[in-house]
Amino acid sequence: LLAALPGCEGVQFLTQVHGCDLIAAGVSTEGVNGKPEADASSTTDRGIACAVTTADCLPVLFCDDAGERIAAAHAGWRGLAAGILLRTLRAFPDPQRVSAYLAPAIGPKAFEVGPEVREAFATAPEGCFRPGQGDRLFADLPGLARWQLRNAGIGSVFGGGQCTFSDPERFFSYRRDGRTGRQISLIWKTR
């Protein structure tokens, strides 16, 4: 099915490890099952898709205003705290000329976390967290990503409003179902 995408000659899949490594898409590197261990890829090559797979984590797709460079990042809370989106944004010469799309991920009404997550984002706005039961909190993963990217000077951020957990008809969700499939989010240049 992916081979039928117009203008797409290959897909750079990753062995995602909830870290902050970025690779150049299409570059042959060692990894698990031929997929390099990283949580983001970027390219200026036409026809190579940067892809991430998720089932609640946040996929973020990047493109510069000229359409010269693209990137895809996998951002769970650990990767987000480690700086995966900021590292990916640094692959672009001017963050003010970059747009990002926050694809479907677990939403702020469903993403219950422990206090260690709030500690990892100590300087984040209060609005990115709301109280849960006991010491638990509900975290706004797309909101945290939007906050990080805006503080880094990104030009535009879109998306972030679709919750994988609360929409079983359209999305896989590990938190909802345990064993589950994965969504694939990809971006590629056709010219």
Residue with tokens 């990892």: 120
- Tell me the three state secondary structure of residue 84: helix
The DSSP code sequence of 89-139 is HTTSS-GGGEEEEE-SB--TTT-EE-HHHHHHTTTS-GGGEEE-STT-EEE
Which helix H or strand E contains 25, and what residues bound it? none
Q: What is the per-residue pLDDT for 30? A: 57
Q: What is the per-residue pLDDT for 27? A: 59
Please name every residue paired with 22 in a beta bridge, in sequence order, or none if there are none. 40
Backbone angles phi, psi at 138, to 5 degrees: -105, 125
In the chain, DSSP assigns E strands to 10-12, 22-24, 31-32, 35-36, 40-43, 48-54, 58-64, 70-75, 98-102, 112-113, 129-131, 137-139, 156-159, 183-187
Each residue's pLDDT expressed in tens, for the chain with a length of 191 residues? 566 778 888 899 999 999 999 999 985 555 556 689 999 999 999 999 999 999 999 999 999 999 999 999 999 999 999 999 999 999 999 999 999 999 999 999 999 999 999 999 999 999 999 999 999 999 999 999 999 999 999 999 999 999 999 999 999 999 999 999 999 999 999 87
- CA–chain centroid gap for 163, Å, is 14
Nearest to 76 by CA among 138, 20, 23, 132: 20
Q: Encoding tokens for residue 141?
A: 């993963």
Is residue 186 within 8 A of residue 11, CB to CB? The reply is yes
Its pTM stands at 0.94
